[in-house]
Copies of this chain bind each other. A is one copy, B any other.
Amino acid sequence: MSQTDRLLSSLTADARGAPPSGIVEVMRHGHGKPGIVPLWAGEGDLPTPAFVHEAAARSLAAGETFYTLQTGLPEFRAALAAYHDRVYGPLFGRPFEPARFLVTGGGMHAIQLAVTAIAGPGDEVLVPTPAWPNFAAAVGIRGARPVEVPMRFGNDGFTLDLDDLAAAITPATRAIFVNSPSNPTGWTADAATLAAILELSRRHGLWIVADEVYGRFHYVEGRPVAPSFHHLIDEDDRVIFVNTFSKNWAMTGWRIGWIEVPTALSETIQNLIQYSSSGTAVFMQRAAIAALGDGDGFLAEQVARARTGRDIVAGALEASGRVRFSRPEGAFYLFFSIDGEPDVRRLGLRLVDEANVGLAPGTAFGHAGAGFMRLCFARGSANLQIAAERLKVWLDNGRSMG
């Protein structure tokens, strides 16, 4: 056994089993290629707006650099409650209590906290797939077992069959992960589907981890937000929301988010924060408060931009006649298959070489993603038009060559 193997073999199986990202290979392959349009990652092309990062700089200059409350500043929690009142209040039906919200070091940290709270070795957690892989990975590191519930692909894109979901429940099941609107598929659950999932939670005593990170990226006229568990739950329902400032306010690199729990859980989550991140910088929270309070305009522009982006790439791919997908109602990804191209891992590398466009292979999102590619359209039109044209040419050539 080599020295490296000896050291690795002395690590826990959970740690050794943590999978590398399925997107990294294609990103490495395309990194630095001249002129490439990189649509592989889950982020837009706009930097954080000035009114947000200037709030952080002011806080830093004012010396707000000391330890702070693990929960988040009272004004941070109040700002989140006010934001939720504004966005979800009409259907939530009561004021949001600031004590429901705790600051986290990003959406991933919120997920880690949720998973630690509700699942351990021997437990199972249901994950409808295709899904952003990090949730299942966090479950695995915790020593619990993520159980894929493959969604069905048809003319309406991916849909979750509630019988499939119910059939996956065993005595070991502790929770269901619900990401709507979905990364990568754009699946957006309607209220009836969410209600049915909530009913499963109530009947079986299961937790729901609700990832509604893309809830504001919703392209249905007259609806400021996608259907949400906030519209359905009572205070004693077992629903934990994980969320982030990353997408709405172009803060992917910051690593600040929040977890929203029944107030009965606040103290436990606070302790778990103490022993993972030990809190989030005050100057980060000042920026987040600015985003929550003054960021509606920026967010509306981002959503309009993504909607235009969606229509540019969807139009080009539809025109090719070789691509299968449904135009998504939410999130900012197109998830599509190409006729005659089942090997998407290799396809990702080829599209870098042959079309100078960077996409993520669907295999990065679970077995159910095999045969699909993910394209992020949260970018400026000019850039997306170039990518769409290149993909169209590549698809047309492929056909003529075929």
Contacts and interface: CB of A to CB of B under 8 A. Distances in A.
A68 interface: yes
A61 B55 CA distance: 11
Interface string A11-44: 1111110111100000000000000000001010
Interface residues of A, number: 78
Contact of A7 (B65, B262, B281): B262
B19 A271 contact: yes
A270 B16 CA distance: 11
Interface string A251-293: 1111100000010110110111011111111110000000000
Nearest to A59: B53
Interface string A39-83: 001010001101001001100110111111000000000000000
Interface stretch (A105-113, A302-310, A388-396): A105-113
Given A61-B57, A253-B282, A112 B275 contact: yes
A141 B276 CA distance: 10
Given A8-B268, A275-B134, A3 B236 contact: yes
Given A14-B116, A16-B268, A60-B53, A278 B143 contact: no
A137 interface: yes
A204 B274 CA distance: 32
A207 interface: yes
A205 interface: yes
A121 interface: yes
A253 B47 contact: no
A238 interface: yes
Interface in A299-355: none
Contacts of A109: 105, 276-278
B274 A255 contact: no
Interface in A183-203: none
B252 A12 contact: no
B11 A65 contact: no
A138 interface: yes
A64 B65 CA distance: 20
24 contacts: A3-B236, A3-B264, A7-B236, A8-B265, A8-B268, A10-B205, A11-B118, A12-B119, A15-B116, A18-B271, A48-B60, A56-B56, A56-B57, A65-B251, A65-B253, A65-B254, A105-B105, A108-B277, A108-B278, A112-B275, A120-B121, A253-B279, A255-B280, A255-B281
